Amino acid sequence: MRTTTYTQHSCTVHEHRLDVPLDHARPLGPDNPTIGLFAREIVRPGGEQLPHLLFLQGGPGGKSPRQGDFRDGWIGRALEDYRVVLMDQRGTGQSTRMDAQALADLPDDRARADRLMLFRQDQIVRDAEALRHHITGGATWTTLGQSFGGFITLSYLSLAPEGLEASLITGGLPGLVHVDDIYRQTFAATAARNRAYLARHPGDEQTIREIAAHLHGTEELLPTGERLSPERFRMIGMGLGMQTRTDLLHFLLEGPWTHVRGERRLSSEFLDEVAAEVAMAPMYGVLQEAIYAGATPDLAGTATAWSADRLAEETPGFAKGADPLDTSEPYHLTGEHMMRRVFDEDPGLAPLAGVADALAERSDWPAVYLPEALAAVETPVVAAVYYDDMFVPRDLSLDTAAAVRGARVWVTNEYQHDGLRASSGKVLGRLLDMLHD
């Protein structure tokens, strides 16, 4: 491991770089090389003897937080009790990146899908274990998993509980069921969030419908050059599930129009803002459904088969071909639902369309959660479950918590999915109090 150290706002920062196998289940060799893993360890003044806390970032495809002053927010609260380790999960940040360029040297989409299968929860757990041995000398550490980071935590508890002192989870207790059962609930939750938003801003419904209808018949281009479709526009609804972004959605919609030679068009400012809202990391897009595939041994042999795309037709308000001006039916913004057509429309995802199709068809997924191991785990587990979580269904989270031995849950309606960040340390403080109670 290679480590560099510096001081930032009185905190000592160690930047660790470590080589790990691409596939931890196989011997190293020409077809199983090493990849780079990066982690940033933050130590407050006087905190050199504190235990370690590993933060597992949401995603998939999200790098660890970059924060100007680590003494702020939830990281500042964590530094009171821990040395905080911010790991860039494989494929993200300063770890070896995974995108269309990184896959270009592989011969076909099947081979690329094989590679991407190695970027799910189980391999991230093995990376974390390799990092733990180098940073702590083998001592256990505590994990804090946000959203997808909670999914990784359940995999950690299944595959390597011996490395864990305790685990904290925020908005990330995954359902141990097929992705169809998850998305039926997230579509319903997204519909509810649409209704709640429009109850606060009723005038925005007409704006949303008019923009979507306009996009059906008029070519409007995003700054990246592609045409904005009604379905891609509806993806701005992702912000409905975030405490820190719901209000910003209203500001986005407050003035979308301009006139060009007497014709009503979407303004360049609005198109710029929409582009920023719907942009996504390639790994997020291509792995969004894959993280749910074959989750447990009982689900072996099942495929995701473009679950979100199929189930959109089941829930009123989400049908892809709906007429936005037909007010007899709801017309909802969408959430964390990857529709197949976005891979034809987003220039960042288009090179991965064939890979995404191959992943959607696969049924040979290794299980990332082991219910028998979870039922026997001795690691203390505490979790925040958000009552109206749009992305991780409350009922399924509670079912999972009941399947984890000794897990304790705080159910709250004070926060949305981003409560860890939005609460400035209050959510983390509550979980630490539960852990030590």
Q: Which residues are catalytic?
A: 147, 364, 417
b/e per residue 150-169 (b: at least 16 CB within 10 A) = bbbbbbbbbbbbebbbbbbb
DSSP string, 261-297: TTEEEE-HHHHHHHHHHH---HHHHHHTTGGGTT-SG
**383 Cβ partners below 8 Å, 6+ apart?**
150, 168, 169, 170, 172, 173, 397, 401, 407, 408, 409, 410, 431
Tell me the C-alpha to C-alpha distance, in Å, between residue 408 and each of 60, 291, 341, 411. Answer: 25, 24, 40, 10
Burial of 292 (0-12, 13-18, 19+ CB in 10 A): buried
Distance CA 349, CA 226 (A): 12
Distance CA 302, CA 290 (A): 11
Q: Which of 122, 114, 127 is nearest to 31 (CA)?
A: 114
Distance CA 84, CA 386 (A): 24
Distance CA 170, CA 118 (A): 25
Q: How many CB atoms lie within 10 A of CB 341?
A: 14
**421 Cβ partners below 8 Å, 6+ apart?**
73, 74, 244
Q: How many CB atoms lie within 10 A of CB 113?
A: 23
DSSP string, 422-435: HTTTHHHHHHHHHH
Both tokens of 217, joined, read 């018949």
